[in-house]
Structure 1
Amino acid sequence: MLFRETAGFLRLSLYRNIKKGIDNMKITIMLLGNKNQKMREIIEEGTIYSLIKKDDKRKEGV
């Protein structure tokens, strides 16, 4: 029982850390603006943003 609770807590904290990291990346992207487009694209590769874009392309059948 204790193991199950610990695993659930670890999963939740991992999720929160990932979400916090993604939020930080989004803030970085906003701060960069259009100044450095290449750097912005590199940062976006690691976010859910790029996954959403790929998913949109699949829906369109591209």
Structure 2
Amino acid sequence: MFMNIYKFLTVDERLELAKQGRCIKKLINDPDRRVRDEALEHDLNILIDDPPLFEENTRK
């Protein structure tokens, strides 16, 4: 559904979506560098904030 309206959004609208952390998987491949950079930074923040996969093993 998002892909249908994606091509009609302006760069500023796509940039705002990236800043909000929405549709990151699509916006990482955006043609505009500013949108890609913002989406990639948000995507990296999500990875950093994730708890360790084996958290119980790290508490020893």
Q: Smaller-chain TM-score range? A: 0.3 to 0.5
Higher helix share: 1
TM-score with structure 2 setting the length: 0.37
Alignment TM-score, normalising by the size of structure 1: 0.36
Q: Which has the larger Rg?
A: 1
